[in-house]
Amino acid sequence: MAKVSKRLQAARKLVQEGKLYSLEEASALIEKFPKTKFDESVDLCINLGVNPRKAEENVRGTVALPNGRGKTVRVAAFCKGDKVKEAEEAGADFFGSDDLVQKIQGGWMDFDAAVATPDCMALVGKIGKLLGPRGLMPNPKIGTVTPDIGKAIEAIKSGRVEFRVEKAGIVHIGLAKSSFGAEKIRENLLVVIDAITKAKPPTSKGVYLKAAYLTTTMGPGIPIDLNSIK
């Protein structure tokens, strides 16, 4: 059995068993957790009442975090011609077309998000099996396939994040750093839950938001009272 650290034991004692926390309470509790040697990520795990196996219930979207995510996002831009300069000026970390595809085919994957112009999608399709499982495939539905590639890059760099339901019906999304403080964490959390709520598929029946937990990288989960949000 793995040994539980004293820090984690102390954090667990702060979470009352059987209690559901409001967004304000959960965000404030993050501040009280014992500190680690690094700035922990704050994540939301939310269980949805959908069947991801059905295409019409595959919940997916993007949301702009009002306080950013607190993480430097490395963006790869698939583009040609004048769009290369536009991507570079917008802050893309990597850009190109055939050369970038070949690099990825060779095993390189040192980026966190990808965007593409429409004329490059046939090329990007060649590495779809590499990008798709990692959630990196550009998609016009979430604004990462667009002729306005500069704005797409700027949006990602400024704090726009993608969410997508997993096979088990769970959405896992990083939304802040523990150093943000309770108020900024709460603001980001509220915006994320609102975006996921609005993304509810018309075919979804019954309870949509079933359960949610706010967690830190090294901390316990804090159960959220979803009724308090409604």
Q: Are 181 and 31 in contact (CB under 8 A)?
A: yes
Task: Give the fold, CATH level 3, of 75-158.
Answer: Rossmann fold (3.40.50)
In this predicted structure, what is the pLDDT of residue 135? 86
Domains of the chain, residue spans = 20-68+161-229, 75-158
Q: What is the CA radius of gyration of the chain?
A: 19
Q: Residues with Cβ < 8 Å from 217, sequence gap 6 or more? A: 36, 38, 40, 41, 43
Q: Are 86 and 75 in contact (CB under 8 A)?
A: no
Tell me which residue of 205, 124, 196 sits closest to 162, measured CA to CA.
196
In this predicted structure, what is the pLDDT of residue 2? 58
Ramachandran region of residue 95, left (φ > 0), alpha (ψ -120 to 50) or beta? beta
Tell me which residue of 68, 66, 75, 62 sits closest to 163, measured CA to CA.
62
Q: The pTM is what? A: 0.81
In this predicted structure, what is the pLDDT of residue 230? 59
Along the 230 residues of the chain, how does pLDDT read in single tens digits?
457 788 888 989 999 999 999 999 999 999 999 988 999 999 999 999 999 989 899 998 999 999 988 888 899 999 999 999 999 999 999 999 999 999 999 999 999 999 999 999 999 999 999 999 888 999 998 899 999 999 999 999 988 888 999 989 999 999 999 999 999 999 999 999 999 999 999 988 889 999 999 999 999 999 999 987 75
Q: How do 170-177 and 41-48 pair as beta strands?
A: antiparallel
Burial letters 68-107, b for 16+ CB under 10 A, else e: bbbeebebbbbbeeebbebbbebebbbbbbeebbebbeee
Q: Enter the CATH code of domain 20-68+161-229.
A: 3.30.190.20
Crossing angle for the helix pair 23-32 and 182-198, nearest 10 degrees?
140
Tell me which residue of 120, 62, 116, 118 sits closest to 87, measured CA to CA.
116
Q: Are 185 and 30 in contact (CB under 8 A)?
A: yes
CA–CA gap between residue 229 and residue 197 (Å, rounded): 11
